[in-house]
A = this chain, B = another copy of it.
Amino acid sequence: MELVNKKLSHDEFYSIRKSILKQWPTGQAVDFEEAVRYQLNIPKEKQFSEKLIQAKKSGRTLIQPRAGVALIDKHIELLNYLVDHGEADLLPTTIDSYTRHNRYKEAEIGIEESRLAGRSLLNGFPAVNHGVIACRQVTEAVSAPVQVRHGTPDARLLTEIAIAGGFTSYEGGGVSYNIPYAKKNSLEKTIYDWQYTDRLVGIYEEHGVSINREPFGPLTGTLVPPCISNAVAVIESLLAAEQGVKNITVGYGQCGNLRQDVAAVRSLEQLTEEYLKEKGYDDIIVTTVLHQWMGGFPQDESKAFGVISWGAAAAALAGATKVIVKTPHEAMGVPTKEANASGLLTTKQLVTMLRDQVMPLTKELLDEINIIKMETRAIVNKIFELGNGDIAKGTVAGFQAGVIDIPFAPSKYNKGKVLPARDNEGAVRILECGSLPFNKELKDYHREKIEQRAKIERRKVSFQMVIDDIYAIGKGRLVGRPR
């Protein structure tokens, strides 16, 4: 295997496919031709791509929860509850952590134990173990489009089963489902494996079935500067496009400063479209998703509602196509269906109430957008350079060189030198730029912003600020001021 950003050849794809479908017995049930027919029969209002296009056209922000439990009937019950009592527009199927690490045997034990215990001992739905038919039971039992959400470095078998199982959207990417979600998985390998996923989606496209693809925007969810998540989104969009993907949703995890959040979403959409066009992918539909604050939540449920609402407001004011919703149980554990529905309803109230308000493009907003674009371009262009024009190679080299570096990520393929901290208005800036390919002007900008805060707090810029910021929202603040 040599990693290049090039459409996988027919032979390469099908030779991999053979072994993939053997990884677990349920793989044998996947029949591509039959699956295409099946997908083509899914009604429009249950197709993810379609619903996103409609929402983008009409300027609506759709709402989507996270949810997944071990057993099929319970999972169906859960999803239906979220539509009926939570007014969810789009549905998820969150996959459990064993499946994410291809530990299907442990997942099997988890299913068994969940049956015995009468409650889910898994933190998600083990789709591979359940197989194609069970997935179809799920997607057929509900009235909204369903997406697979996970965090799986090697998701090839899961993709095969999920799409044949009637899911119409698929989250993840070779970077975004590796660096924040794994410790030792080689980046080269995960990018390569995700080319498979993207190619499979591309082949479905060639057969008239449009599956929505969503790179995972928030990464570690914790103080990730917009330029870093935007860069990953652009990279994964380019990788997906090369394999034939046509409907892409790029994402961003809310940071909390309204202006920065709006700027992040707008620049994300614009940059993705721009790079796709520039590289010759002309017919791709790009939509956006904002994830409500992805870092540590307050334990108190009422306070959690405040954080949820602020995410809903940011999504609406930014004009994101959809928003992924947190719940009042976030700090405590996987939510009950009731808690999940209540997070949805709070969000629904706000996105519909704020539907007619857009944040005007003021000078301040434009400045913020331009900064994010400058930074993101610096990163992405450097990566192209390192890859001699090949974004796949460049990404591997880029992580190695630290020109892209995701804060707090567990992967050993991540440099881990970049440290973010909030400025005095709560926007996430970069305290330690590591090897990010920023010019002096950009570096000074970040430094000054954080110095400004330090001065007001009468302390030196230090790692303690980062720690304080990690805890801040959980403790009711945005900026982690000294006590």
Contact = CB atoms under 8 A, between A and B. Distances in A.
Interface of A: 256-259, 298, 300-310, 312-313, 317, 341-350, 352-357, 360, 362-364, 424-426, 473, 476-479
Give this chain's copy count: 2
A349 B312 contact: no
A478 B317 CA distance: 14
B346 A309 contact: yes
| Interface of A (DSSP majority class) | helix
A357 B426 contact: yes
Contacts of A360: 362, 364
Most buried by B among A346, A425, A478: A346
A338 to B, nearest CB: 10
A298 B476 contact: no
B257 A306 contact: no
Chain B CB within 10 Å, residue with most, of A304, A356, A424: A356
A465 to B, nearest CB: 14
B364 A425 contact: no
Nearest to A427: B357
A476 B364 contact: no
B302 A342 contact: yes
B346 A305 contact: yes
A165 to B, nearest CB: 31
A298 B304 CA distance: 19
Contacts of A304: 349
Contact of A305 (B258, B309, B364, B476): B309
A349 B306 contact: yes
B302 A305 contact: yes
A257 to B, nearest CB: 6
Please indicate which of the listed interface residues A357, A473, A479 has the most CB atoms of chain B within 10 Å of its own CB: A357
A303 B345 contact: yes
Contact of A349 (B298, B313, B342, B364): B298
B305 A425 contact: no
Contacts of A364: 360, 362
A306 to B, nearest CB: 3
B306 A476 contact: no
